[in-house]
A = this chain, B = another copy of it.
Amino acid sequence: MDSQVARFEDVPQLYKRHVFACHTQRPPTHPRGSCGAAGAQPLWERLSSKIEAEGLSADVGFTASGCLGFCSAGPLMVVYPEGIWYRPSTPEDVDEIVEEHLKNGQLVDRLVMVFSRA
């Protein structure tokens, strides 16, 4: 690069999409709740396996994250660069996110967590 400031879009992208899935585990009685306590682990295992099984590993990054906030809404995951937050609760939900969003580039409306900023 020369002395000019490069632009974001000039930087090669490692992944086409990058998934972050909350792995926070609090005790079941914890008042905040947690994605772990809401049953996240088997869902994220399926998500990770499905990404690989669908041959998406080179294009889709999968990273465990700490607390994403909104703990009572979990299990929560977010997909970038689109910035779409999903709250899957069944294996079928996970499969649909992989198939529709990660593979086909389509929003899975019914699983989106929509934020409204007051």
Q: Which residues of A contact B (CB under 8 A)?
A: 1, 5-8, 11-15, 18, 20, 23, 63-68, 78, 80-85, 106-107, 109, 112, 114-117
Q: Is the CB of B114 within 8 A of A11?
A: yes
For residue A32, give the distance in angstroms from its CB to the closest CB of chain B. 16
Tallying the copies of this chain within the complex gives 2
For residue A9, give the distance in angstroms from its CB to the closest CB of chain B. 8
Q: Is the CB of A67 within 8 A of B63?
A: yes
For residue A86, give the distance in angstroms from its CB to the closest CB of chain B. 11
Which B residues touch A116, using CB under 8 A?
12
For residue A70, give the distance in angstroms from its CB to the closest CB of chain B. 9
Q: Is the CB of A18 within 8 A of B63?
A: no
